[in-house]
């Protein structure tokens, strides 16, 4: 009788251990990439665009065209300090952030890089071993790229670009 109880206990223990090992583990949040921090909020590529556009306020210019890649539209919003490109999957549909392009030194990345920053600051913020190719640093993270152009040791352009 004792042997049967021991075998049953051992069998139950093995089943519990096996179930624990096979139980789904919560997935870690996937990286959204580098964030654009503006007015106390961080925005990511491929996120819905409405909150970013609301924070930026009135645009100087807006252009819309039918997408050549899908059934939706590509819309460009030009502001004094940034240009925001959005996409939608259907005409008049929800807009998503496709890219943010800096136009002045009044905006900066969440890591503090802006037009006019020193090239060494870029390396310190993103990757000390990074090398510019043709004056361009490209940092990939999540489903986006952060592209920083430099000339004569100074940042001349910053762009966030979604992988859509």
Can you read off the two tokens belonging to residue 69? 């890649």
CATH of domain 36-162: 3.40.33.10
pLDDT band at 25 (very low <50, low <70, confident <90, very high): very low
Please state, for a pLDDT cut of 90, what percent of the chain lies above it: 65
Q: Phi, psi at residue 125, to the nearest 5°?
A: -75, -35
Q: What is the overall mean pLDDT for the chain?
A: 83
Percent above pLDDT 70 for the chain: 80
3-state class (DSSP) for residue 160: strand
**Is pLDDT above 60 for 16?**
no
pLDDT of residue 91: 79
Which of 22-31, 65-74, 108-117, 146-155 comes out lowest in average pLDDT? 22-31
> Domain coordinates of the chain in residue numbers?
36-162
pLDDT of amino acid 31: 63
Closest CA to 136 of 111, 119, 161: 119
């Amino acid at each position: 009788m004792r042997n049967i109880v021991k075998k049953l206990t051992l069998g139950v223990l093995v089943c519990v251990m096996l179930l624990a090992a096979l139980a789904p583990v919560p997935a870690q949040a996937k990286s959204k990439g580098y964030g654009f921090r503006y007015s106390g909020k961080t925005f990511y590529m491929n996120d819905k665009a409405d909150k970013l556009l609301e924070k930026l306020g009135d645009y100087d210019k807006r252009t819309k065209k039918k997408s050549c890649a899908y059934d939706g539209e590509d819309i460009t919003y030009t502001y004094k300090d940034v240009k925001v490109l959005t996409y939608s999957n259907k005409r008049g549909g929800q807009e998503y952030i496709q890219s943010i392009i800096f136009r002045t030194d009044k905006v900066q990345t969440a890591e503090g890089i802006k037009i006019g920053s020193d090239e060494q600051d870029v390396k310190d913020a993103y990757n000390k071993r990074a090398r510019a190719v043709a004056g361009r640093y490209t940092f990939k993270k999540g489903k986006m790229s952060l592209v920083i152009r430099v000339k004569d040791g100074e940042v001349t352009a910053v762009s966030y670009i979604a992988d859509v």
